[in-house]
Amino acid sequence: MSTVAEERNARAPWALTAPALMLFVGVLLIPLAMTVMLSFHDWGQYKGIEPVFILKNWQEIATDPYYAEMFRRTFRIAILTTLLTALLGAPEAYILNRMSGRWKSFFLLVILGPLLISVVARTLGWALLFGGNNGLVNKLLMSLGVIRSPIPFMFTETGMVVALAHVMMPFMVLSVWAALQRLDPQIENAAMSLGAGPVTIIRRIIMPQIMPGVLSGAIIVFSLSASAFATPAIIGGRRLKVAATLAYDEFLNTLNWPLGAAVATLLLVALVLIVVGSNALIERRYAEVFR
Amino acid sequence: MRRNGPLALIFHAIFVIVMVAPILVVCLVAFTPEGFLSLPSNGFSLRWFRAIANYPEFIHAFWVSLGLGALSSFVALLFAVPAALAIARYRFRGRDALAALFLSPLMIPHVVLGIAFLRFFTSAGLGGSFAALIIAHVIIVFPFALRLTLAAATGMDLSVEMAAVSLGAGGWTLFRRVTLPLILPGVISGWALAFIQSFDDLTMTVFLAAPGTETLPVRMFLYIQDNIDPLVTSVSACVIAITMTALILLDRFYGLDRVLAGKGDPGR
């Protein structure tokens, strides 16, 4: 039987995708290439950008310990945020999955909904909750006896990690949730009928099966946290810089565009390598799950 | 399947409270009758919502965001619908590479995109213009428009199209009278999700916006950088209300988990 698709000529898919392809080449690939080139240009306070090919900006990033410290901070925050979302998000997705129909969809909406709410508004909420040494969070933690003296949250990495973890949490829950949907509940019942306790079931049955979901969630959370802008800028203030806020400063305050472009290019390359590398590792390790 | 035990439910309750708390506190502080940041302990007041009217830059920024979101999502669909049909219907060389390219704005950090577009549009003489914002937003919302359209096109029953062809429909008529109505729910949801993404974007837009083309998130961000007062909480509360409305509509219309999980990725 001949289908509609077969009757059309072979050039059809290219004709249909050509406008989008031209758009992407013209206003995505070319600007990205221009940015990489910009990072090799010279810049001076009075002369502005000079289109020559030099390694000055890259040398500055490689030798000045300020940039090493800044990138270390960026990745430290991203790693801690990823760990926090995995430790809290995975159990939550599991609990959510065991709820009955109506509650499940209600809480799914409550937890995933913030994903679409403005990051500025969400971070503002944390700034209000942290608010100095007698902020709500500190008052609550002290009255519960969790801490003795207030923890400084504003303008610290601690505060950035907490607020970022909140912003990124839906991605982790979503990713583990997707892995749980592929899980056969009968396996859990079989383990139980064979005498496995709840701890054994979680450790031996559930964990290995949702691990790919946790790891792919971790990749998303990590790459988004490492390049996050709004939350570090609002919680971290003007002094505690991460890669994205530093690039912003170079572009819009110092106006040293070539240096800013080098920071951005390095961030992009580092993230692409990390994401592609860990994706490959995960797919090899869990090949059977992705089949 | 076993039910959740009491410990699990306590964990769940704390988790949900922490997820909701920052959003709730913004909305509560917005109703404070005081002149400073505080929870409304003695009565609710709308004074800070009324105060928005005295700040024309927020109102202007809101209209910029609204126009930008609506227009860029629409333009993105003009490019995404044909591309989605091609990717859904045909197996051709370079198909996977094209799909990866079209979804790539999801992987590239928005700060890098912001810098790339700033450099590009400044060289092109379009720096700070509304046109530049539209083009940049078309690129960042494209993956969302494509994904939902793709999901709809992949799930479509092709025999309906065949019937139309056998009755003599061709080309444009086929698309307008048969294909488009069938994929319309996906297209509209794609538009809505793209709109929300555009409406909320700060990281890329902050590089491109100039006075006059500042979007609402950019205006809010610049305001917060200077000082945090109840005004910005009432503006945020309005933004949250708008997003929640769109969210609930999207959930009713299409199912939020389907929208967010991005079912319909090629190869899944």
Contact state of A32 with B15 under an 8 Å Cβ cutoff: no
Tell me: the pLDDT tens digits for B88-142? 988 888 899 999 999 999 989 999 999 999 999 999 999 899 999 999 999 999 9
Whether A13 and B92 lie within 8 Å, measured CB to CB: yes
- Alpha carbon dihedral A137, A143, A145, A151, in 10-degree steps, equals 30
**pLDDT tier for residue A11 given thresholds of 50, 70 and 90:** confident
Closest-CA residue in chain A for B194? A116
How far apart are alpha carbons A83 and A169 in whole angstroms?
11
Is A179's Cβ below 8 Å from some Cβ in B? no
For residue A60, what are its two tokens? 């500055």
Q: How confident is the model at residue B264 (pLDDT cuts 50, 70, 90)?
A: very low
Residue B266: per-residue pLDDT: 34
Quickly tell me which residue has 């890669």 as its tokens: A243
Least confident segment among A21-25, A209-213, A282-286, B22-26: A282-286
A257 contacts B119? CB cut-off 8 A? yes
Q: Is residue A199 very low, low, confident or very high in pLDDT (cuts 50, 70, 90)?
A: confident
- DSSP 8-state class, residue A273: H
- pLDDT over 80 at A2, yes or no: no
What domains can be seen in chain B, in order of their start residue?
A: 55-261 (1.10.3720.10)
Instruction: Name the pLDDT band for A238 (thresholds 50, 70, 90).
Output: confident
The per-residue pLDDT of chain A, averaged, comes to 89
Q: Residue A116: pLDDT band by 50, 70, 90 thresholds?
A: confident
Choose among A13, A27, A223: nearest Cβ to B120: A27
Chain A residue with minimal CA distance to B218? A120
Asked if B17 has any chain A CB less than 8 Å from its own CB, the reply is: no
pLDDT of residue A131: 81
Does A141 or A11 have the greater pLDDT score?
Answer: A141
Decide: B193 and B261 in contact? Cβ < 8 Å: no
Q: Hey, are the CB atoms on B138 and A227 less than 8 Å from each other?
A: no
Shortest CA distance from B259: residue in chain A: A112
Query: Can you read off the two tokens belonging to residue A237?
Result: 């203030």
Per the listing, tokens 């472009």 go with A261
Of A99, A22, A170, nearest in space to B102 by CA: A22
- Decide which of A160 and B253 is more confident: A160
**Selected residues 255-274 of chain A with any CB under 8 Å from a CB in chain B:** 257, 260-261, 264-265, 267-268, 271-272
Q: What is the DSSP string of B109-175?
A: -HHHHHHHHHHHHHHTT-TT-HHHHHHHHHHHHHHHHHHHHHHHHHTS-HHHHHHHHHTT--HHHHI
How does residue A49 score in pLDDT terms, banded at 50, 70 and 90? confident
Which 212-241 residues of chain A touch chain B by CB within 8 A? 223, 226-230, 233-234
pLDDT at site B185: 84
**Contact list, B108 vs chain A (CB under 8 Å):** 32, 268
Whether the CB of B98 is below 8 Å from some CB of chain A: the reply is yes
Task: Nearest by CB to B217, from A88, A113, A118: name it.
Answer: A118
- The 3-state DSSP class for residue B243 equals helix
Condensed to tens digits (0 to 9), the pLDDT of residues B199-256 reads 999 999 999 999 999 999 999 999 998 888 899 999 999 999 988 887 787 777 777 6
Q: What is the pLDDT of residue A289?
A: 56
Torsions phi, psi of B81, nearest 5? -65, -50
Average pLDDT, integer, range A234-245 = 91
Tell me what ipTM this predicted complex has: 0.89
d(CA B243, CA B261): 18
Which band of pLDDT confidence, cut at 50, 70 and 90, is reported for residue B268?
Answer: very low
Question: What single-letter DSSP state applies at residue A252?
Answer: I
SS3 A243: helix
Domains of chain A, start order: 64-290 (1.10.3720.10)
Q: What pLDDT is attached to residue A38?
A: 95
